[in-house]
Amino acid sequence: MLQHHHYDAVIIGSGAAGLTLALHLDPGLRVAILSKGTLSAGSSSGAQGGVAAVLNQERDSQEQHINDTLIAGAGLCRKEAVEHIVEHGQASIQWLIAQGVPFTPDEKTSGFEFHLTREGGHSERRIIHAADATGKAISDTLISKARTATNIDLYEHHLAIDLVTTQKLGLSEQHCAGLYALDIKSDTVKLFQGKTTIIATGGASKAYLFTSNTDGASGDGIAMAWRSGCRVANMEFNQFHPTGLYHPKAKSFLISEAVRGEGGRLVRPDGSRFMKDYDYRGELAPRDIVARAIDHEMKKLGADCLFLDISHKPADFIKSHFPMIHERCLGYGIDITREPIPVVPAAHYTCGGILVNEKGQTDIPGLFAIGECTYTGLHGANRLASNSLLECFVAARSCAEEINQSINQTPDALEIPHWDDSQVSDADENVVIAHNWDELRRFMWDYVGIVRTNKRLQRAKNRVNLLQYEINDFYSHFKISNDLIELRNLAQVSELIIDSSLERKESRGLHYNVDYPLTDENARETVLTPRNFNKKTALKFSPLGS
């Protein structure tokens, strides 16, 4: 029999956004957090660099941070969203400090008690961090708080399958009533019914062959929201981190931008520097510029990788500032105090996503979304380094405030049908799923990567259409599994990325198309609308730049 759980708020995702939201909800509300793996398995815990916020008022200002963000966003940021998130940054950091996050202290007199570093695109040092394992420090702290909260229930190894909406149930008034989820360990489907449902599932970088993200970054929340009738925006802007570690045994390991912020030099195999040939800011140029420069140099030289060299710095400095990177590289036989680090670009961050307002509201009443799965307007055409975690904390707090105020206005619980798997059978060809997964990620890397063309995009579109047909047929006739659910979501999100890329007839920020190398004077967002979009409940947004 289907297990049926009732909550006030059901949160899908246990990263920085989801945990922060849960801890800010009224303690009188019953809250469920679903994680597809362990609570710390997502991308948040792997973040190295830190959180961008204006903390040292003597040297920095909110105006500077806003301006740096707008410049990096290449004309597509929503200024009101940038202002909202930057202005609430300090309060969010103070809350994290109060929770006990062990940020690195400043050993010198700088006017601020914690050490601040600088990353590409920032005009000042404003990145607060915990050595080079900031995400883990934050994740461990917030998980500990969530485990001791009496109103929060934690469900690990529970993968969301699809949202339940009143429209799907045949009712006229649209509202999200919860979701079906697969309990991976027991291989059973459960129903989580909630007055509010919050998507905090992260991005979709696993759509690409090379990525810095964990295996869970399969775009689940974006795909579910799209299938339920939510608009998505700017999915063509996929950030490729310039410096993923290049080693046959190194899976998804990132060399933090902070290495370049502290003097790391990008060099060719012969040791010569090249970044000043591409941008006056050199190694501290925004990520899209650095990633394209590395990609261009690799293709020009026929090189498998380039190198990031910080060995000119004292060994003690390197070990104290980058202990995790030093230890991990040493495990692969690379001593970064003595030799350069082999690096390649890797898919890193999804700048577009589910269209939301500053409170995290989607187009469907009762459904909220926060974090990397969303498009708030903060990132525009390119994300400024370390603004992502900042967005998680600020958006989660704003979303919690809205839910706390509005949850009593939520409609009564509905009668929701049980999950029906009586017409499906066990799959005897799981190799098909593995093959499709590999094919999808390879053609996304080859055709929808750092540099694009119309012909490559159209080839990708043809491929993804065939895969979608095959995957949906498989989904309809065989018993679901976590691999099949993730593949279905990845294919859907890949289609959205391709469609968005085909819509943009220019090159801007992270989207570079050889056939449209120039940037239009008028910046326009790419908003995709699903066929089952409900205009009556749609969010109303002011025009870009107003």
Q: Can you name the residues that pair with 162 across neighbouring β-strands?
A: 180
Determine the length of the chain: 546
β-pair partners for 367: 197
What is the β-pairing status of strands 353-355 and 374-375? parallel
Q: Tell me the three state secondary structure of residue 374.
A: strand
Q: What is d(CA 103, CA 116) in angstroms, rounded to the nearest whole number?
A: 10
Q: What angle do CA 224, 228, 232 make, to 5 degrees?
A: 70
Under 8 Å CB-to-CB from 9, ≥6 apart: which residues?
22, 25, 29, 30, 31, 32, 194, 195, 196, 197, 198, 403, 407
Q: Which strands, in side-by-side order, build the sheet including 127-128?
A: 51-52, 127-128, 116-117
Buried b (16+ CB within 10 A) or exposed e, 139-164: bbbbbebbeeeeebebbbbbbbbbbb
Backbone φ, ψ for residue 245 (5° rounding): -65, 130
- 524 catalytically annotated: no
Local structure of 294: helix, strand or coil: helix
Q: How far apart are CA 154 and CA 145, in angstroms?
A: 12
Question: Residue 56: which region, alpha, beta or left (left: phi > 0; alpha: psi -120 to 50)?
Answer: beta
| Contact of 256 with 49, CB cutoff 8 Å | yes
Exposed, middle or buried, 417 (CB in 10 Å: 0-12/13-18/19+)? exposed
* Cα 490 to chain centroid, rounded: 14
Q: How far apart are CA 471 and CA 281, in angstroms?
A: 45
- Tell me the sheet residues that pair with 341: 308
> Are 508 and 500 a contacting pair, CB within 8 Å?
no
Distance CA 14, CA 367 (A): 17
Which residue among 287, 397, 463, 504 is the active-site one? 287
- What is the rounded distance in angstroms from the CA atom of residue 544 to the CA atom of residue 546? 6
Residues tagged active-site: 287
